[in-house]
Amino acid sequence: MIKKLDETLTRVNKVAGVNMNIPKVTKSKLKYSRYLTTVVGIGGLTLGVIGSSKSLLVLGTISVLSSIATTNELRKL
């Protein structure tokens, strides 16, 4: 998914005449991102349950889902 997005953005930039360098994704960057989103997700879920905040529950759930998606992208690299 990340490679397809990178290729598409490169093509769009060429068509638009924009010279933009998009940083390449590495395994170490993805692992760091996965770690942070997992911590934020677990924190949001915990605070959402303790404080009965629906918005924190939703944000925590989205963060955990993001870390799962990042794990899948890590496997593809």
Task: State the Cα–Cα distance between residues 6 and 50, nearest whole angstrom.
Answer: 40
Residue 77's identity, in one-letter code, is: L
Determine which helix (DSSP H) or strand (DSSP E) holds 21, and give its type and residue range.
none
The beta strands (E) that lie in 11-56 are given as: none
Question: 15-24 contacts: CB < 8 A, separation 24 or more?
Answer: none
Q: Which pLDDT does position 37 carry in this prediction?
A: 94
24-65 pLDDT, tens digit each:
888 899 899 999 999 999 999 999 999 988 999 999 999 999
